[in-house]
């Protein structure tokens, strides 16, 4: 099976040897997004809800570049440096998805790239 990289200037460029997303068959695997502003490449540092919105906006841009939308997301992985932020991030996520909601895991981690407090990855099904 071939792999097709997906990229868009409407989401931050990869900061390492990876693609923003990769299509394999009818499935698109979206790399984790942190709250980077795609225009500046700088980390958005604000309240956790604002940071989470930037993350989900970045994911939405990659979904669109893959020919899908947030409605096609089957799974979301959320990584937080502090689970005390769970409720706020959960509330933001509710603004980006509607029933039937994607499957999800939320994991507390000790650190994220660039000192971010939240990272989210996803799996999109387009076929």
Q: Tens digit of pLDDT for each residue in 2-47? A: 999 999 999 999 888 999 999 999 999 999 999 999 999 999 999 9
CATH of domain 4-125: 3.30.1330.40
Burial of 66 (0-12, 13-18, 19+ CB in 10 A): buried
Specify the residue for token string 């990769």.
Answer: 22
How do residues 61-115 score in pLDDT, each as one tens digit? 999 999 999 999 999 999 999 999 999 999 999 999 999 999 999 999 999 999 9
Token pair recorded at residue 122: 């996803």
How do residues 52-70 score in pLDDT, each as one tens digit? 999 999 999 999 999 999 9
User: What residue spans define the domains of the chain?
Assistant: 4-125
Predicted TM-score (pTM) of this structure: 0.96
């Amino acid at each position: 099976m071939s792999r097709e990289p997906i990229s868009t200037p409407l989401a931050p460029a990869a900061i390492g040897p990876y693609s923003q997303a990769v299509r394999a068959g009818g499935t698109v695997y979206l790399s984790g997004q942190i709250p980077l502003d795609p225009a500046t490449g700088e980390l958005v540092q604000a309240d956790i809800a604002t940071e989470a919105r930037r993350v989900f906006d970045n994911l939405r841009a990659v979904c669109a570049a893959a020919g899908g939308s947030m409605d096609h997301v089957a799974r979301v992985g959320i990584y937080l440096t502090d689970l005390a932020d769970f409720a706020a991030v959960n509330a933001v996520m509710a603004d980006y998805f509607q029933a039937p909601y994607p499957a999800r895991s939320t994991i507390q981690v000790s650190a994220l790239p660039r000192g971010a407090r939240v990272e989210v990855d996803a799996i999109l099904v387009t076929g």
